[in-house]
Amino acid sequence: MELSLKGRVALITGASRGIGKAIGQAYADAGASVLLSSRKQDALEAAAGEIGGDVDVFAANAGDPDQAAAAVEHCMSRFGGLDILVNNAATNPYFGPAIAIDLPAYDKTWAVNHRGALVWTQLAWKAAMAERGGSVINVASIGGLSVDPGIGIYNGTKAALIHLTRTLAAELAPSVRVNAIAPGLVKTDMARVLWEPAEERMAASMPLARLGEPSDIAHAALYLASDLASWVTGHTLVVDGGALLGPVARR
């Protein structure tokens, strides 16, 4: 067995930049046909041009069920199937105490981060995976395993996504494997407000002495989608440079 996805079709949400784009690159390099989806057509086209290979794009808001359905339908029409779904799209419109969040921001966060993952998985199941099997990978966060001031609602959606992963893994077995990845702090545009002001200090406190790169998460997603993970389901793979271990003192 090898880390090859030849002959498989992957659909990745939130794929125009950052982690989603890196996963698209890893999958295309491994031989998969890849559909990149996010909200902005121009950003998707730019990402596809950089990735190369058998790659197509479809603009869709991950929190809109009708747009999700159109994206899955396009994937089936364009590539003739759907074997791998990566629910990577996420949003965090609010930073501050959970007690003070307004309901529109709360609803938007849950609609994309949790309900969206369920909707896209339902669509993939009905369109292809119920008949031919497949792999679903949900991009969660170590925030779903801890408590962080300021992003408590976002972290709550990720904790729920981890539980949803286990639930769907049990329900869709044995033909569909469902796993999650819980990244630590990765140097993406979405997380820039968290890492850019103090990157060196934060990296120095971590066991592996650096922040994450999108490729670190893409490597985990490639493993979980491949045959090397054929006996892995219901698992949340933490990829955080050891952050959950706590700060370390350097000798």
Q: What residues contact residue 109 under an 8 Å CB cut-off, 6+ apart? A: 91, 92, 93, 94, 153, 154, 157
Q: What is the pTM of this model?
A: 0.95
Closest to 82 in 3D by CA, of 31, 29, 135:
135
User: Domain map of the chain by residue range?
Assistant: 9-239
Predicted confidence at residue 190, as pLDDT, reads: 72
Please answer whether residues 150 and 96 qualify as being in contact, where contact means their C-beta atoms are separated by less than 8 angstroms: yes
Cis peptide, bond prior to residue 247, ω within 30 of zero: no
Architecture of domain 9-239: 3-Layer(aba) Sandwich (3.40)
Catalytic entry in 27, 94, 106, 154: 154
DSSP label at residue 234: S
Closest to 113 in 3D by CA, of 190, 40, 59:
190
Q: What are phi and psi of 177, to 5 degrees?
A: -95, 135
In order along its 251 residues, the chain shows pLDDT tens digits of 568 999 999 999 999 999 999 999 999 999 999 999 999 999 999 999 999 999 999 999 999 999 999 999 999 999 999 999 999 999 999 999 999 999 999 999 999 999 999 999 999 999 999 999 999 999 999 999 999 889 999 999 999 999 999 999 999 999 999 999 999 999 887 766 666 678 888 888 889 999 999 999 999 999 999 999 999 999 999 999 999 998 887 66
Identify whether 27 is a catalytic site residue: no
